Amino acid sequence: MNSDLFRSMREQLHPSEGSKTALREKLSNAPVRRSTSWKKYIALAACIAVLIAAFPIYTAVTGRGGSELHSYTLVEDNMPAADTETFTTTEDKAGVQGVLPEPDPQPETAVRETGILSQDEAQNLYIGLMEYFSQKYGSVSYEPVLPDWYGGGYLDNDRPDNIARLCVVLVEDLDTPELRQEIIAALGSDHVDFISGKYSRNRLRQLQESFADYPAIEEVFAGSWVDEEENLVHLELTEVSDEILELLAELDPDDDAISVTVGQRASIDVGVAW
């Protein structure tokens, strides 16, 4: 099939001798015009038109149309996170392997140099927010339905008074003073900080679940989680290829919703659930 297609393309770009002879006869019998300088522009336009028409065919056959590649961070063996490198191409990176760090779990309470960190109030406010979502938007399998304006929620533990604060991420296009007041009223407390984010929690979760739809990603998948504080999805891969980076670029055209880390885990026996 491909050979017939390319043969057809060649015939269009290189006419037969018979076609050339017939064309010359028509041109020789045509009326003589005073100026012929415009002919070169017509010929140039015709060549460009043929190339434009042939490009979609070439793309369909080869699967390449100048697609952008998603960026990624390569983690070397035993390399600290500060020394990682970010790439937008897999060229000359084949065979390089690294160790991916495990995400640090956040404890409910932690002892710091300045004393004990209290998270009780912030955690209760978060629970109250989820209950508010369930009451207003419903629930599925005991999980609240999240509104599209909600980008996520997390606890800010870096406060000088050692009292954690609930931070609610609002999608920037839907963030309004009225919405903030609605949340404060629903929680019955103004001990909440609001942060603007680009993506909703629903969109980030959708992106995370979509990884399982691509066998190329699934084969090298090591882990994934939604980072509500950074308002993005983390994706860990053991290896990477241009095919995968093209897929990720289609899923994340702005290259800011998926953070890709590439390296070989220290133990291949670690199982990660979707």
Pairing, β 258-262 against β 72-74: parallel
CA distances from 12 to 42, 62, 138 (A): 17, 19, 61
pTM of the shown model: 0.63
Contact between residue 132 and residue 187 where contact means Cβ atoms under 8 Å apart: yes
Cα 63–chain centre separation: 20
Of the CA atoms within 13 Å of residue 224, those in its CB half-sphere come to 23
pLDDT digits 0-9 by tens, 61-101: 334 345 689 999 998 754 434 444 555 554 544 333 333 34
Q: What integer best gives the mean pLDDT of the chain?
A: 73
Q: In terms of C-beta density within 10 A (0-12 exposed, 13-18 middle, 19 or more buried), how is residue 98 classed? A: buried
Nearest C-alpha neighbor of 74 from the set 263, 231, 248, 239: 263
Are 153 and 169 within 8 A, CB to CB?
Answer: yes
Residue 153: the pLDDT is: 96
What backbone torsions phi and psi does residue 235 show, to the nearest 5 degrees? -130, 120
- Bridge partners of 167, per DSSP, are 154, 193
**Are 70 and 245 a contacting pair, CB within 8 Å?**
yes
- Specify the higher pLDDT residue, 29 or 219: 219
Count how many Cα atoms sit within 13 Å of the Cα of residue 4 in the half-sphere of its side chain. 1
Per-residue pLDDT of 113-156, as tens digits, reads 657 889 999 999 999 999 999 999 999 999 999 999 999 999 99
Does 228 have pLDDT greater than 60? Answer: yes
Q: Once rounded to an integer, what is the mean pLDDT over residues 23-51?
A: 43
Q: Where does residue 181 rank: exposed (0-12), middle (13-18), buried (19+ CB within 10 A)? A: exposed
